[in-house]
Chain A
Amino acid sequence: MTNVDQFESVFKSATKISFAYQDIEIRKVLLVTDLEEQPAQQLSDQVRSFLTVLAADDSVNWRTVQGDEFQTVKELLDLVEKENPDLICAYRHLHSQAWRWPYSLGEELDVLTQITSSPVLILPHPKAQPLDEILKGTGSVMAITNHLTGDHRLVNFAVRFTEERGTLSLTHIEDEKVFKSYIEVISKIPSITTETAEEEILKQLLKEPHDYIRSCSDTLREEGLALKVQEIVSLGHHISDLTRLVEEHQVDLLVLHAKDEDQAAMHGLAYSLAVELRRIPLLML
């Protein structure tokens, strides 16, 4: 190593982003349904038994919205604003039969996940499959993103929803298609050795989430949280690989971002996954 850039790279690489643990406080949960009183109450009970991590806390205030309390998106948004919950639980295609076709979340959730600052827990549609088979606690929670390093909020929410002694899978899948496209460009630049670039860039891309997950694991242990942290960092195709991983790890709850600064998540990875993964609950931040 002989120049400033080389040493600067070494020092920058040595600068790690450590996980900052923060206890997520959930005081009020709003369960939005399009059901009548009795089935709505039944669903409420199922959700409470699913979210034992919250139900165990007596201070959590649960409120169930019945179908006749809103008819339009505007009415739902007004209701959410009035209640100001820390967590919204809902399912796809409220007041609609479109749940039969897996092409969207339904107009209410499409808007709600983008407008509200509260996280939205999207449940499978009650008519699509028996919820008793699906809502069996949160012993296995997976947090996914295409940029995990430094995403403390995502990890903290995933930690909050993981049952004691449960497994928290922190997943970072680097988009293979994007990576290959850059390597293709590099292969056309004579001053850059393609083989070295491919090897080194991939190594560094995967190293950063690896280091961050290690920091998460260490911090959670220091905080005395009895969780098993599992690292899943690889290069692959987002949708197909994540779908496979969810099945392989028998995930009970998937935590992901619904929005980002550029509003790209909802139109990219998150939305595609939300539409694709209809059989498991999704916590969209």
Chain B
Amino acid sequence: MMQTFLNTGLITAQATHAAEPVPLAVTVMFSLLLLGLIAALALEEQLHAKKSVIAGCFAFVSLFAADALDLLPIGSVTNVFGEVVELPVYIPAIDWNVIAIILGASLFVDVTSRSGLFTWIAIRLTKISAGDPRRLLFYYGVLTVLFSAVLNNVTAMIIVGSLTGVSLNKLGRRDKLLGFLLVEGLLTNIGGLLTLISSVPNIIVGTAADISFIRFFLVTSPFVVIATTITLMMGARLFAIHSLVDEEERQEAARLVADFDENDGIESPFFFWFGAIMMVLFILTIATTSVLPYISELGMGYVAMAFGLIVLIRYKAVADEFYKALDWDLLGFFMALFIVIDVMEHAHVLDLIGRGIVPIIELGATMGTGLMLVVSAVASSVTDNIPLAAMLAKILSGLGTSSDSSLWWAVIFGANLGGNITPIGSASTLVAVTIIHRYKLPLSFAGFVKKALPYAAIQIFLAVVYVLLFLG
């Protein structure tokens, strides 16, 4: 009976990577596994399980099932030196360039943050604002976007969010904390659009589409400027964050922020300047990786790892402390996710989803791209945007989408901005909510959606218009 069921329909491989036909029932079974993974990731908090464990379990089951059904290309592989080597099937399934970028950049940011550079910038900006709430919102907002762009969304939210809590408490403006943190959370996902390495979906989709760092920046930066300005203006209006009008209040606020000592966190002036110079060099090198001789062949992963190692020399005796501080959950999650996606590819699940996407694409350059962006945004609002980006990148690659197609941008914009619809849509909005709850401010899931939806709707609308007008 099982054999009969399995033989009820065979799907023929559409993409070049899968030559062997797979029974539809098998594809459906693996589709359910993928849906299970997405659902489990959406319910991460309720399950009290880390992402890496969830994805690891699904990777383990998927691999076993795929091997049992003879879907995997088990056997030796030929490496770049032309040597035939035996590798476990799940090793080449992982995109090691993405892992290297995340690992190296995390290490680099973690070590550089010890120099006091980021806290110095944040405190200097606080002092320049003279404690005026509206000015502070705009400064912190811009800082969030820039930190999200050069560091990553989560680190940006952690730095700016924690400073916001401390400074608003100091200024006696705790009533504005919710508005500040929410706007900053929303801006992390806008800042995450600024560069190729600002967010993981960018890295995954950008790498798959072969988009260079410079091109990515030139395409997204005008949108980021517009969306940031609109979000900040809306935030100031909807959360009633106004400038101080009373001279006495202004003087008191200026006195309070003057108590901040931006040099407090600087352990050594040498390392501070070293950190600053390395940060500039890191951005420049990442930006020019594709044109640098030799470096272009080694890729951005190599650059990130090299910079991580260079700054680590400062703490060579206690390097293990930084290894411990790395987000192994995130790295484990990515590795497991890549394995699951690879299995899904062999089980033709991606082909199946691709067939669902084809009608969207066939709607044309305008409707198709616009709908793809909205669908990506909605999908990434209810689950992690990383598997979504990984899956769509694989599908678009499989469909032979050209590098200059606006569909890639639709996925990038959608996957990033979708994180602003719900608190679970992106890791950085989750951090914002965590800080909000840390300060005992009430904000439920529905409460977040109610407050964030007007911003997200406008941002997504703007993105659709932008992609269609300028990238179509």
B116 contacts across to A, CB distance below 8 A: 10
Is the Cβ of B265 less than 8 Å from the Cβ of A8?
A: no
Given contacts A10-B119, A10-B265, contact A15 B325 (CB under 8 A): no
Count A/B pairs, Cβ under 8 Å.
61
Query: Is A7 a contact of B162 with CB atoms below 8 Å?
Result: yes
Q: Is the CB of A18 within 8 A of B258?
A: yes
Tell me, in angstroms, the Cα distance from A13 to B266 when the chains sit together: 12
Which of B164-172, B225-233, B390-398 has 4 or more CB atoms under 8 Å from chain A? B164-172
- Report the nearest A residue to B161, measured CB to CB: A4
A263 within 8 A of B: no
B264 touches A13 (CB 8 A): yes
Contact of B166 with A12 in the complex, beta carbons under 8 Å:
yes
Q: What residues on A are CB-neighbors of B170 within 8 Å?
A: 15
For the complex, what is the distance from the CA of A2 to the CA of B327, rounded to whole Å?
8
A263: min CB distance to chain B, Å: 29
Known interface pairs A7-B162, A8-B162. Does A1 touch B110 (Cβ–Cβ under 8 Å)?
yes
- Cβ-closest chain B residue relative to A5: B162
- Tell me if A115 is interfacial: C-beta within 8 Å of chain B: no
In the complex, per-residue mask of B170-186: 1 if CB is within 8 Å of any chain A CB, else 0: 10000000000000000
A48 and B165 alpha carbons, distance in the complex (Å): 52
Query: Are A4 and B110 in touch, CB under 8 angstroms?
Result: no
A152 to chain B, nearest CB (A): 13
Stretch of B136-144, B236-244, B430-438 at the chain-chain interface: B430-438
CB closest chain-B residue, reference A3:
B158
Cα–Cα, bound, A191→B209 (Å): 46
Q: Considering the chains assembled together, what is the distance between the CA atoms of A2 and B323 in angstroms?
A: 12
Q: Which residues of A contact B327 (CB under 8 A)?
A: 2
Binary A-proximity of B96-128 (CB < 8 A = 1, otherwise 0): 000000000000001001101001001100000
Main SS class of interface, A: helix
B265 touches A13 (CB 8 A): yes
Other-chain contact of B260, A2, A7, A8, A16 (Cβ < 8 Å): A16
Interface size classification for chain A: 10 to 19
| Residue in chain B with minimal CB distance to A211 | B261
Would A11 and B110 count as touching, CB distance under 8 A? no
Contact at B119–A11, with CB atoms within 8 Å? yes
Contact indicator A4/B259 (Cβ below 8 Å): no
- Given A1-B113, A1-B114, A2-B110, A14-B162 contact (CB < 8 Å): no
What is the bound-complex CA distance between A1 and B324, given in angstroms?
Answer: 11
Q: Residue B40 at the A interface, CB < 8 A?
A: no
Q: A residues within 8 A CB of B468?
A: none
Q: Please give me the residue from chain A that is nearest to B438 by CB atom.
A: A4
Residues of B with C-beta under 8 A to A1: 110, 113-114, 325
Other than the given A8-B166, A10-B116, A14-B262, 19 more pairs (CB < 8 A) read A1-B113, A1-B114, A2-B158, A4-B158, A4-B162, A4-B435, A4-B438, A7-B158, A10-B265, A11-B122, A11-B123, A11-B166, A11-B260, A13-B265, A14-B260, A15-B166, A15-B261, A16-B260, A16-B261
Q: Which 9 A-B pairs have CB atoms at the shortest separation, nearest pair first?
A: A14-B264, A7-B162, A8-B162, A11-B166, A1-B113, A10-B265, A11-B163, A4-B162, A14-B261
Binding site for B on A (CB under 8 A): 1-5, 7-8, 10-18, 211
Binding site for A on B (CB under 8 A): 110, 113-114, 116, 119, 122-123, 155, 158-159, 161-163, 165-167, 170, 258-262, 264-265, 325, 327, 431, 434-435, 438
